[in-house]
Amino acid sequence: MIPVQGLSGKRVAVLGLGRSGLSAARALDAGGAMPVCWDDNPEARDRAEAEGFDCLDLRKQGAFDDIARLIVSPGIPHLYPAPNPVVAAALSAGVPVDNDIGLFFQSFATQSWDNFDTAPRVIAVTGSNGKSTTCALIHHIMEAAHRPSQLAGNIGRGVLDIDPPHDGEVIVLELSSYQTDLARNLTPDVAVFTNLTPDHLDRHAGMGGYFAAKRRLFAEGGPDRAIIGVDEAEGQYLAGQLSEGASDDRVIRVSAETKLGGPGWCVYARKGYLSEFRKGRQVASIDLRDIAGLPGAHNHQNACAAYAAARSVGIAPKVIEAAFRTFGGLPHRSQTIAEADGVRYVNDSKATNVDSAAKALAAFSDIRWICGGLQKEGGLGALNAATASVKKAYVIGREAAQFAMQLEVDAQVCTSMAEAVAAAMDEAEAGDVVLLAPAAASFDQYDSFERRGEDFVAEVTKRL
C-alpha cells in the first residue's frame, strides 16, 4: 500500500466505494487521514463499514463542513454531461476534488528514497486503444531485464494498492481519460500517448474535451520523456507542443503507419519491421512478423510505444526483442489460445466495436470469423472494407440474422458460441485462423467481454 501523504489528521470524503474508492480510503487511513465514505449503493456502504470506515451521506446539507478534499471514483462524472450532485456540492463549498491517481502521485516519493542508488520511476500510459497491451508489454520487458516492476491502474492492481517501490523499480500505470482528467497531481517520469479515436465523448463534452483530458498527463505532469503516437492529428499536435524543436529527444515520436525521420528520436513499424532512429541514424531494428503475441499493425504500434518506453529507462534493444518473443499477449486481446492441425485459434473478445474488429481482421489471413452480439451505433459498413481475408463468418448473438445480413461475406447464422465454434472448427483447414472478433458488445448473451472470451476458449478447448 502507498499511504497518502499530506492529509494526516484531516477529514477526507470518498465518493464511490468500488475498487479504487475502498483502496483510497485504506491508503488515506494508513497515512493518518480520517476518511468519510459514501456510495449510493447500500451494499457498497456495508462493505466499507465492515472494514471500519465511517459512512456519511454526502448529499446532505453541511456534509462538507470540515472536509479537506473529496476523492471521486472514475465512473462518477465531475463535469460533463453534468456533475454528480455530491461533486457539485463539494465545488460549491470550495472543497478540492481529486482522485486516487492524484493521491498516488502526491504520495509516491518518500524519504526512504534517499538511501536508494536509483530512484524509482513511473511510466504512465494513456490513449484510446492499446493501453493495456502496451502496459503489460512494458512490464514484461522490465521483468525480462530483471528490473523490479509493478503494474497498476486500469490493469493489475489499484495505484494505491501497490507495494512501496524498491531501489530502481519501474511502476507501469495504465490511465484512462477519466483518471487523467481529474487528478490534481500528475508527475510521471515517462508518459505515453498511444493514439486517439472517439470514445467517452459524453463524459468530455466532445472530442476536444476527450483529447484535453489525455493531454493533461503531459501538460500538467511535465514528464522527463514523452512518447507520442503521431498517426493522428492530435498526436502530431501534442508532440509539437511538447518539443522545443526537431532535434529535441525528450519527445519520442511513434508510428505504425509512417516512416519517421529527422534529427530527433523516433520509433516506427513498417511492413512488420520496427526501427529506432536517433539523430538521423538507425540504431536498432526488430522483425515483428513472426512474434505470435503481437500480431497485426495495431499490436505493432503497441510494440513501438513499449519499445520506446523501455529504451527511455535504459533497456537495451536486444533485451527488448527477446522479451517481445516471450510475450504471450493479454487475455481476450488477439490472444492465441491454441494451434492444432495447422489451425490457429485466436480470442479477441475485446474487439467490441467496428474499429477494433477491423484491426483484428487485418492482422490475419484465411480467417474463419466468429462475430456478432449487441450491435453498436453506426452499422457495419466500415467493417466490410476489412473482410478481404475472411473465408466465412459465423454469427452469434440474439440478433445474429440481422447482423449477418449486413456482412458482405459468406455468413452462417449460429446464434450460440457453441454452434459457431463447432461449425468453424469442422470447416477449418490447415493455414486457417479461427478468430473471435465480435465487433459488438457482449451484453445480449454475456455479462462481460471477458465472459464471452472465456466461453470461446472453453468451446475450442473441449473440441481439440
At 404 the three-state DSSP class reads helix
pLDDT score of 380 = 85
Q: How far apart are CA 220 and CA 237, in angstroms?
A: 16
Q: What is the pLDDT of residue 207?
A: 92
Q: How far apart are CA 287 and CA 321, in angstroms?
A: 9
Separation between Cα atoms, residue 38 and residue 82, nearest integer Å: 19
Under 8 Å between Cβ of 302 and 426? no
For 133, 155, 178, 217, 234, the CA distances from 127, given in Å and listed in that order, are 12, 14, 11, 10, 11
Least confident of 171-175, 189-193, 376-380: 376-380
How many CA atoms within 13 Å lie on the side-chain side of 411? Answer: 19
21 annotated ligand binder: no
Residue 131 labelled as part of a binding site: yes
d(CA 261, CA 280): 6
pLDDT of residue 125: 98
Q: Give the three cell numbers for residue 396.
A: 452469434
CA–CA gap between residue 243 and residue 311 (Å, rounded): 19
Helices then strands (H, E): number in the chain? 16, 20
Are the C-beta atoms of 393 and 409 separated by less than 8 Å?
A: yes
**What is the rounded CA–CA span in Å between residue 423 and residue 301?**
33
Confidence of residue 94 (pLDDT cuts 50, 70, 90): very high
Q: How confident is the model at residue 411 (pLDDT cuts 50, 70, 90)?
A: very high
Topology (CATH level 3) of domain 106-325: UDP-N-acetylmuramoyl-L-alanine:D-glutamate ligase (3.40.1190)
Task: Tell me which of 458 and 377 has the higher pLDDT.
Answer: 458
Map residue 79 onto helix, strand or coil: coil
* Per-residue cell: 86: 455530491
Strand ranges inside 50-175, DSSP E = 54-55, 67-72, 97-98, 121-126, 149-153, 170-174
* pLDDT band per the 50, 70, 90 thresholds, residue 297: confident
The answer to whether 133 is annotated as binding is yes
What tens digit of pLDDT does each residue of 382-393 get? 889 999 999 999
pLDDT over 90 at 381, yes or no: no
Q: Is 80 exceeded by the pLDDT of residue 377? A: no
Burial annotation 146-164 (CB, 10 A radius, 16+ → b, else e): ebebbbbbbbbebbbbbee
Task: Provide mean pLDDT across the span 291-316.
Answer: 94
Helix (H) or strand (E) holding 269: strand 265-270
**What are the angstrom distances between the C-alpha of 339 and each of 345, 405, 430?**
6, 31, 10
CA dist 123 to 148, 307, 393, 418, Å? 13, 12, 40, 41
DSSP 3-state assignment of 418? helix
Sequence spans of domains, the chain: 11-98, 106-325, 335-463
Q: What are the grid coordinates assigned to 327, written together?
A: 510475450
389 annotated binding-site participant: no
Q: According to the model, what pLDDT value does residue 77 have? A: 93
Across the chain, mean pLDDT equals 94
CA quadruple 438, 296, 308, 235: dihedral, nearest 10:
-60
Q: Tell me: pLDDT of 378 over 80.
A: no
The strand ranges marked E within 399-456 are: 411-415, 433-436
The CATH number assigned to the domain with range 11-98 reads 3.40.50.720
- Please report, rounded to a whole number, the percentage of residues in the chain having pLDDT higher than 70: 100
Is residue 201 scored above 90 in pLDDT?
Answer: no
Is 115 one of the annotated binding-site residues?
no
The H or E element containing residue 254 is: strand 251-255
Q: At a CB cut-off of 8 Å and minimum separation 6, what does 151 contact?
A: 135, 136, 139, 157, 172, 174
> What pLDDT, on the 0 to 100 scale, is given for residue 275?
97
Q: Give the pLDDT confidence score for residue 200 in this predicted structure.
A: 78
Burial code (b: 16+ CB inside 10 Å, e: under 16) for 184-218 equals ebbbbbbbbbbbbeebeeebbeeeebbbbbbbbbb
The mean pLDDT value for 151-159 works out to: 89
- The response to whether 373 counts as a known ligand-binding position is no
Integer Cα distance of 195 and 310 in angstroms: 18
**Distance between CA 103 and CA 4 in Å, rounded?**
6
Q: Return the number of other C-beta atoms located less than 10 Å from residue 72's C-beta.
A: 27
For domain 335-463, give the CATH number: 3.90.190.20
Say if residues 53 and 46 touch (Cβ distance below 8 Å).
no
What is the arithmetic mean of pLDDT over 307-324?
97
Does 60 score more than 80 pLDDT? yes
**What whole-number distance in Å separates Cα of residue 351 and Cα of residue 360?**
7
Q: pLDDT tier at 230 (50, 70, 90 boundaries)?
A: very high
Residue 285 assigned ligand-binding role: no
The sign of the CA dihedral 78, 84, 86, 89 is positive
pLDDT tens track for 325-374: 999 888 898 889 999 999 999 999 999 888 889 989 998 999 999 999 99
Distance of CA 63 to the CA centre of its chain: 35
